[in-house]
Structure 1
Amino acid sequence: MNAPHRTAARPLRVLLPAIVILLWFTGAAIGGPYFGKVGEVSSNDQTSYLPESADATQVQQLLPEFSDSDAIPAVVVLTASTPLTDAELDASQTAVAALSDLDGVGSDLSPLIPSDDGLAAQAFVPIDADGEVGELVAAVHEALRSAVPENIAVFVTGPAGFTADLVEAFSGIDGLLLAVALAAVFIILIVVYRSLLLPVAVLSTSLFALTVALLAVWWLAKAGVLLLSGQTQGILFILVIGAATDYSLLVVARYREQLRISERRWDAVIGAVRGSFEPILASGGTVIAGLLCLLLSDLKSNSTLGPVAAIGIVFAMLAALTLLPAILLAFGRTAYWPRRPRFEPEVVAAEGGVPSRGLWVRAGRLIARRPRAVWLTTSIVLLIGAFGVTQLNADGVAQSELVLGESQARDGQVALGEHFPGGSGSPVYVAAPEEGLQTVADAMLGLDGIDGVSVSTDDTPAGTASVTAEGVIPLGPPGTPVPEPTVVDGVVLLQATLSAAADSPEATGTVRELRADLAASAPDALVGGVTATAIDTNDASIHDRALIIPLVLVVILLILMLLLRSILAPVLLVATTVLSFGTALGVAALVFNEVFRFPGADPAVPLYSFVFLVALGIDYNIFLMTRVREESLDHGTRPGILRGLAVTGGVITSAGLVLAATFAALAVIPILFLVQIAFIVAFGVLLDTFLVRALLVPALGTDIGRRIWWPSRLAGPDAR
């Protein structure tokens, strides 16, 4: 009776997986070239990520109205150990003037300005913002180095110099970061599974998921729907590789179980997908929900990361539930070669469906004997580590500290500060009503941290004219007419040179004081520039952190309540994950301060780390507790916890190692922000894997017993 049906189904069982593999292969083939094209649709300009209402954003939008150029200024600094002679200054001036011959360098270069001590000189060089800033800065440095006298040191700093540093630092994302992450995952899978084909299948799934996700994100960024930056790109790569591998390992573990009780590979694959579907969907949905909470962020760098990363998680889930099963169906038992699982339903039945020995079986026995002692000891250890949170300095870092290692722009900034006002080349801009020009200028001149004030004008070659307490100063011999300030829609643009470096705490204090003074004397004035942008970015990050962290907790808690049909169990799971996050942050603070001597951290570091750690840490609790609930329905809560731990221990440990390794790979990109997230998330994932999920959660559940499922029926005495 079933023979015709089986005959008809057999071609479908071959054709369907082949179609799935072909579709994913086609998507990967189309998306592959886009790895080298991300720079076309990404931006690392901080101002573009501020909200439209921010003062710095509004000023930045006004700047093109006062200048025909949208170039990024580079500050060329020339220094010597002895005073520069007239001949050396003339030769240097000729070299600076010749820079306009370089493609991408503007013609309106400033003349060389000697320092008061005679040991240095500086010039402002406009760099085309639409060009390859990193290459242009390198070309400017090389041209000067070959043209100025040998005893003169050459530095290129300022906004263009620091942008070039960021470009160079992010240049390893497409190649080095991906290679390190994939290599780490491959080695871990080889060690854990002692198989060659299985790691290839899992990595292919992860890589195809990433390629198709990048294809979707690229076109959305091209259409202006999303903003993409170097740090968002790096996080997308790591998140998709890690999540897709984690979900794949769950499918692989279920498939191995099914092969022992199913003779046909088709039945085993269907059983594996059916057993993995709910935890993968719940885990991915939890991560996506947490990420989408970032949409409420004031900073576009945060709000756009949410949908970008969520798209990556969607493709990670799709690949694990479609592509990997198709590959496993093609490989069959050979996927696990040379340790192929046998068809042995009698042995499985005798084992009761769980391993009879192993690390997690022994851990379960320890928990069963002393559950309260285990969870109390584990909690105390985690709390001790969490005390270090008080030492975390996450109030922002200077722009010059963003890139780790050597930095020509940082060295140039130091040299600039030794011989000139530190804020040269990165002025404070103030857009004010025309009639309030002198009021605003007086407020600026009254601050000790401001070295000089000028106003934009079309009547001078430099494009600006100095402003004093007496008004605008004419440049030239006596009798020279006073230049008229440029007025755009009733607004003038003033510039102030800061005495300290634009990214220093002193400069930050000066700009905050200026804003406070202008709020009283010229409330319509807007303050922008590099320092103001950093202030607005940090303030928005702190606001986002206070808003989004509680929201993520509430969203994840509600999802867990729906998934586990319980209130108490989700509350405990979220509480343990938060405790783990606190410990990771506390230990990280001590390591950052005492070992690496980092200058501080961006306010977004705790936010990003929280979103990733809580969302991904809950993943492992979902993997564990969905299996525990499944086992509890048949065997009771306490036996169900031990059975769930024994069955999921190996796969969750493997998944944790893989995820920690992939996030640790972010450290190969020499950006302080990414290195700090790499450490916090990697360390936190290991805590979740080996302490929270392996000991704390099972011990709590065992001690509480069936009441952990309250108020569902599983909490009742006849639940089994």
Structure 2
Amino acid sequence: MPAGRTAKRVIIGLWLLLLALAVPVGLNIGSVQSDDARDRLPADAESTRVTELVERIPGGEGDQVLVVQQRQDGITEADRTWATARRDALGGTGMPPVTSDDGRTLMYAVERENPGEDEERTAAFVEEVRLAVAQPPPGLTVQVTGSSAIGADIDAVFEGIDETLMMVTTAVVALLLIITYRSPFLWLLPLAAVGVSAMVSMAALYGIASAAGITVSTQSFSIMIVLVFGAGTDYAMLLVARYREELRRVHDVHQAMGAALRGAGPAVLASAGTVTLGLLCLLAARMNDLSGLGLAGAVGIACTLVTMLTLFPALLLVTGRRVFWPKVPRYGAPATASRGIWARVANHAVAKPVRTAAASAAVLGVFALGLTQLGGDLGETGQFTDTPESVAGYATLGQAFPEQSGRPLTVVTDSAKADDVTALAAAVPGVAEAEPARQGDGLTVIEVRPGATPDTQEEFDTVSRLRAAVAPDALVGGPAAEELDTREATAADNWLVLPLVLAVVLLVLVLLLRAVVASLVVVGAVLLCFAAALGIGAIAYDVLFGFAGTAANLPALCFVFGVALGVDYSIFLVARIRDDAPRLGTKEATRRAVTSTGGVIASAGLVLAATFAVLASLPFVPMVELGFAVAAGVLLQTLVVQPLLVAPLLVALPGKMER
């Protein structure tokens, strides 16, 4: 136990050794990270199977960008000459310059082989093209677009995102700890412990992912880091609050820490266990990025739990009471008087429990109405907070060349059936053209170009019609097909994962609290809070941020984090009520629990919300949406749901906590 006089030094020594081993391993986490579509989608998805088949056919491994030139008063002969010269200088391969019907836009393609489709070579190629056309003639605007350019822009968004997220999160947590503790020393201990936990989590995730052949997405890793910092700081704040109380009652710091661990430890263990089990439910998802997030999150929470219940108490013991300076808790000093805002909140909640709970539920219900404004799927071109050149170029292309604006689809069939499949594909409504591209290994690749604008329902309908027309003789892949497969797999995951998480969390609560009514109250309140937070988010995404839609997996992720983290805070509150209820009765125990834990839970919630809000600072819309919704949910949980809904309901409903 870390509260021992000798054990504290042994534990610190063991953690230093573990950290020395973890750092070089954890820094390799990038080698198991990938954001490629084939790594996100299920192995049996049709677009994934197409990718695997295409890799068997020689050739075709290359990049293509589209250069779009536009002059408002019409493309001149000098513009055409300049375009031809730029294209020839870049290799001269690909579609030659073509002028739009209105004569104001010119488009041409530039292609280059890229064996293995290396992402770094793609990025270098796109940058080379952009530099080549960076100085157009006066009055001529030039945009570089196409699937390779969009892919390069997405990769650029994620470049360095791990380091940025780590630094910003550390700075935010440090600032909030300084404000909370108002001590020049105390804030360093939880931050150091959480930093160790983050590095150990990275090493553990790398080891598991390498051994199991699992790919970790950048989003999964980013969320794991946020969880580690947020949850770790929460656990630290709860333990410090209990330790501070014990230091006033017990002279010896080791005995005080032992009492604090016995008091707060079970609640921290129960809450971390609940969050971990909820995250592990994501392993049942078909989408690999969702199941990978479950693994990453569970590893992060598990490492954080061990760190904060061993290393952090040992650090507190080594530094002694003086670490709290200038507000050192003295032995025998009276406890903080039951006054202040949380005392008033507690008195109101237990004095008029039904009215308080009804009013809180009504407010949350109004927020939940925002769900009616939840937008459709983002699509590939809607994932950026700022419109990059590649996306703007696609829009220009769609207006000037509506028949050429669609993203090409890849159809793979047996070579003996290639002519028939090509004819079937060309006859599908919404298909602009279809022609064989290359063949090998008994297979033929047919390139099909839909006429619809990218990321529109018309494009996805064309994919569905094409698949129906060529099945069972051919398979259809490509960017639009991948997005359609993502939609369908995510929808299936929602129906599987969400009820599974709810059932597991409810079962864990019943076993932990040994009170069915209290468990149902907690789960019901958490579900209402989830709906309210996502409703607030839906309105913000449209009115405040102006996003084109929402990520397909946003409801599932918000549900998992909303339920798991919401139950987390409920466990802290209900555990404190259960401690005092047999002696004081449910009503008085609830009043004291809200008074004593309200400030701590609110502070912990503020820190966790701030860490998730860090995601909203990233230039990637799915991250912004998730960070905003989870932060809003955490604030609602700690400031409204726990003190003004769960607490009064426990007082008002039958099934008291005395037993």
The structural deviation recorded for 1:688 is 0.5
Q: Does the C-alpha gap of structure 1 residues 109 and 285 become closer, same or farther in structure 2, counting only changes over 3 Å? A: farther
For 1:445 and 1:376, the matched residues in 2 are separated by 60
Partner of 1:53: 44
Q: Count residues in correspondence.
A: 655
Any idea what the Cα deviations from partners look like across 1:472-499, whole Å, max 9, x if unmatched? xxxxxxxxxxxxxx2534x322111122
1:99-110 to structure 2, matched below 5 A, reads 99=90, 109-110=93-94
Identity of aligned residues (%): 35
1:131-150 to structure 2, matched below 5 A, reads 131-132=119-120, 135-137=123-125, 139-145=127-133, 149=137
Q: Classify the secondary structure of the residue corresponding to 1:426.
A: coil
Partner of 2:99: 115
The structural deviation recorded for 1:32 is 4.6
The structural deviation recorded for 1:523 is 2.0
Any idea what the Cα deviations from partners look like across 1:410-444, whole Å, max 9, x if unmatched? 11212222343566683111122334333322232
8 Å contact from structure 2 (residues 382, 549) kept in 1: no
Corresponding residue to 1:511 among 458, 463, 470: 463
1:626-641 to structure 2, matched below 5 A, reads 626-641=575-590
Partner of 2:454: 502
Unaligned ranges ≥5, structure 1: 1-8, 101-107, 349-353, 458-485, 716-720
The structural deviation recorded for 1:41 is 2.5
Partner of 1:65: 56
Any idea what the Cα deviations from partners look like across 1:435-486, whole Å, max 9, x if unmatched? 43333222322234222111133xxxxxxxxxxxxxxxxxxxxxxxxxxxx2
8 Å contact from structure 2 (residues 99, 106) kept in 1: yes
For 1:239 and 1:590, the matched residues in 2 are separated by 25
Any idea what the Cα deviations from partners look like across 1:221-254, whole Å, max 9, x if unmatched? 3445321112112111111110111111111111
1:426 paired with 2:407, answer yes
Any idea what the Cα deviations from partners look like across 1:346-399, whole Å, max 9, x if unmatched? x45xxxxx8422222221211232111111111111112112212212x41221
1:294-693 to structure 2, matched below 5 A, reads 294-344=282-332, 347=334, 355-393=337-375, 395-421=376-402, 426-457=407-438, 486-489=439-442, 491-518=443-470, 522-693=471-642
For 1:37 and 1:75, the matched residues in 2 are separated by 35
Corresponding residue to 1:203 among 176, 191, 195: 191
Q: Does the C-alpha gap of structure 1 residues 44 and 425 become closer, same or farther in structure 2, counting only changes over 3 Å? A: farther
Unaligned ranges ≥5, structure 2: none
Q: Classify the secondary structure of the residue corresponding to 1:132.
A: helix
8 Å contact from structure 1 (residues 660, 681) kept in 2: yes
Q: Does the C-alpha gap of structure 1 residues 377 and 84 become closer, same or farther in structure 2, counting only changes over 3 Å? A: closer
Partner of 1:468: none
For 1:317 and 1:54, the matched residues in 2 are separated by 37
Q: Does the C-alpha gap of structure 1 residues 399 and 333 become closer, same or farther in structure 2, counting only changes over 3 Å? A: same
8 Å contact from structure 1 (residues 95, 147) kept in 2: no
The structural deviation recorded for 1:70 is 3.4
For 1:34 and 1:143, the matched residues in 2 are separated by 38
TM-score under structure 1 normalisation? 0.86
Q: Which is worse superposed, 72-81 or 270-279?
A: 72-81
Partner of 1:242: 230
The AA in structure 1 aligned to 2:428 is L
Q: Which is worse superposed, 547-556 or 173-182?
A: 173-182
The structural deviation recorded for 1:153 is 3.4
Partner of 1:280: 268
For 2:23 and 2:404, the matched residues in 1 are separated by 43
For 2:194 and 2:544, the matched residues in 1 are separated by 34
8 Å contact from structure 1 (residues 431, 527) kept in 2: yes
TM-score under structure 2 normalisation? 0.93
8 Å contact from structure 1 (residues 293, 306) kept in 2: yes
1:74 paired with 2:65, answer yes
Q: Does the C-alpha gap of structure 1 residues 645 and 109 become closer, same or farther in structure 2, counting only changes over 3 Å? A: same
The AA in structure 2 aligned to 1:390 is T
Q: Classify the secondary structure of the residue corresponding to 1:666.
A: helix
For 1:156 and 1:35, the matched residues in 2 are separated by 37
For 1:273 and 1:137, the matched residues in 2 are separated by 57
For 1:387 and 1:425, the matched residues in 2 are separated by 36
Q: Does the C-alpha gap of structure 1 residues 423 and 376 become closer, same or farther in structure 2, counting only changes over 3 Å? A: same
Partner of 1:229: 217
Q: Which has the larger radius of gyration?
A: 1
Q: Which is worse superposed, 600-609 or 411-420?
A: 411-420
Any idea what the Cα deviations from partners look like across 1:198-243, whole Å, max 9, x if unmatched? 2111111111111110122223334453211121121111111101
Q: Does the C-alpha gap of structure 1 residues 99 and 23 become closer, same or farther in structure 2, counting only changes over 3 Å? A: farther
The structural deviation recorded for 1:145 is 2.3
The structural deviation recorded for 1:29 is 4.7
Corresponding residue to 1:174 among 162, 174, 187: 162
The structural deviation recorded for 1:670 is 1.1
1:691-702 to structure 2, matched below 5 A, reads 691-702=640-651
